[in-house]
Copies of this chain bind each other. A is one copy, B any other.
Amino acid sequence: MRAIFSCSSSSVKNFGSFSRTHLSNSFNFSKRFKVEIFKKNNLDSCLNKKIVCGSVRMASTFKPEQARVPPAIPLPTPVITKFKIGLCQLSVTADKERNIVHARTAITEAAEKGAKLVVLPEIWNSPYSNDSFPVYAEDIEAGREASPSTAMLSEVARTLKITIVGGSIPERCGDKLYNTCCVYDTDGELKAKHRKIHLFDIDIPGQITFKESKTLTAGETPTIVDTEVGRIGIGICYDIRFQELATIYAARGAHLICYPGAFNMTTGPLHWELLQRARAADNQLYVATCSPARDAGSGYVAWGHSTLVGPFGEVLATTEHDEAVIISEIDYSQIDLRRTNLPLQNQRRGDLYQLVDVQRLNSQ
């Protein structure tokens, strides 16, 4: 055991007391990521040797802007800052054609109720099983006939002049399968495509075992997209467990993170709402989730409970497990308000921890 963790002697030790530990301002954001940490300066602190504290450590030395590498981007101003969102918690069957018609009906209902942004569930055109994914998969890039599910999304977004975060469907690309979310703008254009980054591999004996990685390939990049209704980060289901992804989205200026998801009957009650609220409260932004409705007779039983959470971690709208179209209001001014009330962004300790957004750093 290193003494640095274990204080077994009678003297008080602590982990690393630095008088001048901070990272250089001069990040090199080109091809090489070079962060300099100043040489450890072993001045005795009053913690270790009972000397009187000397210089005052000012808050500015905490370097909160360096807690995010690269530094966080300010929130952009979208075309619309206050609008209705619709979350379509859909029943999903083995009949793909029915699922497409059914989703279209729900989207239309949400738009008729005023939704400018509509979110669908994870895997809404297919049963949720490794056997079904290759059968129901579509080649999204190959055009309308090869992907009737996303063709519908494009057409209905254009017709209704709404933004759609299209849940997810199994995607075939060459010899690989992905769990993929398409985002369409009000012209029906495909604005972004998110492939589930963290595959759902879980093994709780007697309760649930599922290995998505048996059939699916993981996506290679976070996905954030500017729409009329704000800058939206996308995660699919298990992606929500990795707080780093949400924090990266917040640092990239997201107003809202959408997680189509299908938590199960074991982790749903324990973690579904918890994780949404935590991502929203920690990052002070909106989080929307959308699940399939529960079908107790299916091989994979979804928890349901699609929800909208505000930037204070508060549940703004939710439902039970039955099919539902949830309509609720988003007001991005709430983000500014919460960040003013509780200025976490100015209080982080970039001298102690840094979250590195590897791809953004490398692109600069």
Interface residues of A (CB under 8 A from B): 1, 4-8, 10, 12-18, 21, 23, 31-37, 39-40, 45-47, 50-54, 56-57, 59, 62, 67, 69, 76, 141-142, 173-176, 189-195, 197-199, 201-204, 213, 217-218, 220-226, 231, 238, 241-245, 247-248, 252-253, 267, 270-271, 274-275, 277-278, 281-282, 312-314, 340-344, 347-349, 351-363
Which residues of chain B are near A221, meaning CB under 8 Å? Answer: 14-18, 352
Considering the chains assembled together, what is the distance between the CA atoms of A31 and B41 in angstroms? 11
Do residues A56 and B220 form an inter-chain contact, with CB atoms below 8 A?
Answer: no
Do residues B142 and A270 form an inter-chain contact, with CB atoms below 8 A?
Answer: no
Do residues B217 and A56 form an inter-chain contact, with CB atoms below 8 A?
Answer: yes
In the complex where A23-B358, A224-B15 touch, is A33 in contact with B31 (Cβ < 8 A)?
A: no
Do residues A282 and B14 form an inter-chain contact, with CB atoms below 8 A?
Answer: no
CB distance from A185 to the nearest CB of B (A): 9
Considering the chains assembled together, what is the distance between the CA atoms of A296 and B227 in angstroms? 47
Question: Quick one: closest B residue to A36, CB to CB?
Answer: B32
Considering the chains assembled together, what is the distance between the CA atoms of A16 and B359 in angstroms? 6
The 10 closest A-B pairs by CB, nearest first: A278-B278, A52-B174, A53-B174, A16-B359, A6-B226, A244-B353, A354-B356, A50-B141, A204-B341, A46-B173
In the complex where A37-B31, A173-B46, A226-B6 touch, is A245 in contact with B353 (Cβ < 8 A)?
A: yes
- 21 inter-chain pairs at a CB distance below 8 angstroms, sorted by A residue, are A7-B191, A8-B226, A12-B190, A14-B192, A14-B193, A14-B221, A15-B360, A15-B363, A16-B359, A31-B39, A34-B34, A53-B176, A202-B342, A220-B351, A241-B342, A243-B247, A244-B355, A245-B353, A270-B281, A352-B358, A354-B356
Considering the chains assembled together, what is the distance between the CA atoms of A241 and B348 in angstroms? 10
In the complex where A341-B202, A349-B242 touch, is A16 in contact with B193 (Cβ < 8 A)?
A: no
CB distance from A106 to the nearest CB of B (A): 25
Which residues of chain B are near A349, meaning CB under 8 Å? Answer: 197-198, 242, 244
Which residues of chain B are near A340, meaning CB under 8 Å? Answer: 203
Do residues B353 and A248 form an inter-chain contact, with CB atoms below 8 A?
Answer: yes
Contact of A270 among B5, B7, B16, B313 (CB under 8 A): B313
Question: Quick one: closest B residue to A52, CB to CB?
Answer: B174
Do residues B1 and A226 form an inter-chain contact, with CB atoms below 8 A?
Answer: yes
Do residues A12 and B46 form an inter-chain contact, with CB atoms below 8 A?
Answer: no
Q: With A1-B226, A354-B356 given, can you name 12 additional A-B contacts, CB distance below 8 Å?
A: A8-B226, A10-B190, A16-B359, A33-B36, A33-B37, A57-B220, A204-B342, A247-B353, A271-B281, A277-B278, A354-B355, A355-B356
